Amino acid sequence: MITFEEATVIVAGEAKLLSVESVNLAGCNGRVLANDVFSDTDMPPFNKSAVDGFACRRQDIEKQLHIVETIAAGQVPLIEIGVDECSRIMTGAMLPKGADTVLMVEHTGMAGPDHIRFAGNVSATNICFLAEDIHKGDKVLSAGTRIRPQHIAVLASVGCFAPKVYAKPVVGIISTGNELVEPDAKVPEGKIRNSNAWQLLAQAQEAGCEARYFGIAEDTPESTLEKIDLAEVECDIIILTGGVSMGDYDYVPGVITEAGFKTLFQSIAVQPGKPSVFAVKDNKYLFGLPGNPVSSFVQFELLVKTLINKITGCTDPPVIVRLPLGKDYTRRRTDRKSFLPVKIILNEVFPLEYHGSAHIHAYVEADGIIAVNIGETEIKKGTLADVRQL
């Protein structure tokens, strides 16, 4: 049995980057940038008005100003502003030459045909200046960034319509166990619904992967091996749930070896998820996760995501906030690192009622998880805890 930290290092160390491809903006949300992106233009590309109003010379704002032109967004001004002159200008429109201030329309009043007066006390410049946000050639996004909608806006603004991104990992999900039936089936006596596969499919999709389901393997080596062989053809990562403990029907570790995978660990000093398996074969990766839903959920978040991020070049760290515990927490067994579901209430962290690795309902209200280290029996109220957000 190895520590959780050792397991993480092993998983990360085996990761090999996937191939790179160009994907247009409509399909790159959630993908990971494979190279840095630089701006091909200054932003703003010209001095522009930040408001609807009147562009003028600041030294003239106490005077009556003659309107010489109306400038719409996208229009190039035709007239340079002179003494006691102004141009009516719309938000985002190019500032005319000679102007250094834009008076907000609500701070002006008409003073006759084609004339206005400033009716305010003090005016800001109300100008977005050339290149005040970005200069041409500046790096706007770094390789390793997982693309989100705000990144897509930046890519579009610099003309990067088909960024280079890492290939989307394909994750295959296999459930094992004769006790399982699918959620749409009636549940005979002695059976349970298969929740793990559907949970893992959703987690894989949320992590930016293409997820495929290969069904339930029977509790025989032959059925399990057949499913692994099928998944290996199509997938980068294979995840099996169930059959990794020490019972008479737990064939998975042996079948993994028979399928040609090299097992790097199969027991972690962690709760939940002690009997977790990690194996490799060429550029394929296989996780054998416990059948209890909390175990599979937590170890996907911690270990499988570590691999996904590594093979896609993602450098975004997990979102962790440090907050004080809202009540005392104690436990009896301290031989394993424990991960607990918690809820954040008014900037304090409260461990949720949790009955063990089958109690997935505890995670419905969870905002995140906290770790309790080996040898640690209690955490006092007020102690700062690192909350890994879910």
CATH code (residue 141): 3.90.105.10
Return the closest-CA partner of residue 36 out of 148, 163, 166. 163
307 and 328 fall within a common domain: no
- The CATH number assigned to the domain holding 361 equals 2.40.340.10
232 and 287 fall within a common domain: yes
92 and 230 fall within a common domain: no
Mark which of 283, 311, 339 sits at the end of a domain: 311
Measured CA to CA, the distance from residue 24 to residue 161 in angstroms comes to 6
277 and 241 fall within a common domain: yes
What domain range includes position 37? 20-43+132-166
Whether 193 and 181 have beta carbons less than 8 Å apart is answered as yes
pTM for this predicted structure: 0.89
- The CATH number assigned to the domain holding 53 equals 2.170.190.11
222 and 357 fall within a common domain: no
Q: What is the pLDDT of residue 166?
A: 98
Measured CA to CA, the distance from residue 21 to residue 151 in angstroms comes to 18
CB neighbour list of residue 316: distance below 8 Å, 6 or more residues apart = 144, 145, 146, 309
Question: How many residues in the chain?
Answer: 390
301 and 344 fall within a common domain: no
242 and 364 fall within a common domain: no
Tokens of 224: 């399990």
* 381 DSSP 8-state letter: T
Whether 156 and 150 have beta carbons less than 8 Å apart is answered as no
373 and 332 fall within a common domain: yes
Q: Residue 62: how many CB atoms within 10 A of its CB? A: 9
* 145 DSSP 8-state letter: P
77 and 191 fall within a common domain: no
Q: Residue 286: how many CB atoms within 10 A of its CB? A: 25
Per-residue pLDDT for the chain (390 aa), expressed as one digit of tens each?
Answer: 999 999 999 999 999 999 999 999 999 999 999 999 999 999 999 999 999 999 999 999 999 999 999 999 999 999 999 999 999 999 999 999 999 999 999 999 999 889 999 999 889 999 999 999 999 999 999 999 999 999 999 999 999 999 999 999 999 999 998 999 999 999 999 999 999 999 999 999 999 999 999 999 988 899 999 999 999 999 999 999 988 776 545 778 889 999 999 999 999 999 999 999 999 999 999 999 998 899 999 999 999 999 999 999 999 999 999 999 999 999 988 999 999 999 999 999 999 988 777 778 888 999 999 999 999 999 999 999 999 999
346 and 378 fall within a common domain: yes
At which residue do the structure tokens 């199969």 appear?
A: 266
Q: What is the pLDDT of residue 247?
A: 58
- The CATH number assigned to the domain holding 185 equals 3.40.980.10
209 and 139 fall within a common domain: no
Q: What's the total number of domains in the chain?
A: 4
Mark which of 108, 128, 148 sits at the end of a domain: 128
111 and 153 fall within a common domain: no
3-state DSSP of 320-378: EEEEEECCCEECCCCCCEEEEEEEEECCEEEECCCCCCCCHHHHCCCCEEEEECCCCCE
Mark which of 77, 100, 128 sits at the end of a domain: 128
